[in-house]
Amino acid sequence: MVSARRAVGDEAEQLAVEHLEREGYLIRDRNVTCRRGELDVVAEKGEVLAFVEVRMRSTAVWGDPSMTVTHAKQRKVVLAAHEYCQRHRLFARVIRFDVASVVGKGREGQVEHIIDAFDAGF
């Protein structure tokens, strides 16, 4: 049984994926679990391979959801992305770390795609 919280997160992720597809991205993978972390969405457009962290809040009262991507979370995403690239032999790709910020629940959620939200530097 899927928890209510997980269902809301899944809806936000689906909105983010639909938004990325409208922007011309091909969704390569979703919810990839690696030893070092999890990747929400792996998308590609041209030579760019974007690892997209999806963050959601039901309201903007507490601030932009993208602000919840802490330094520790960034590190986990970067390490998981490195593992993903090794696993899939993606050595000559331009890598980017984006955030999809979703405010609102369900189909009413508003998506903001933040390109190059953070880098691989620790």
- Give the domain ranges of the chain: 4-118
Residue 32 or residue 61, greater confidence = 32
CATH of domain 4-118: 3.40.1350.10
Four-CA torsion 115, 47, 34, 8, nearest 10 degrees: 40
At CA 69, angle to CA 66 and CA 70, rounded to 5? 140
Task: Give the global pTM.
Answer: 0.91
Q: Per the structure block, which two tokens stand in for 100?
A: 């999809």
Contact status, residue 94 vs residue 74, Cβ threshold 8 Å: no
**Is it the case that residue 112 has pLDDT exceeding 80?**
yes
Q: What percent of the chain has pLDDT over 70?
A: 92
CA–CA dist 7, 36 (Å, integer): 24
pLDDT tens-digit readout, 74-111: 999 999 999 999 999 998 889 999 999 999 887 888 99
Average pLDDT along the chain: 90
Q: Per the structure block, which two tokens stand in for 16?
A: 């983010």
Question: CB under 8 Å to 57, separation ≥6 — which residues?
Answer: 63, 64, 65, 102, 103
**Is it the case that residue 8 has pLDDT exceeding 90?**
no
Residue 7 or residue 73, greater confidence = 73
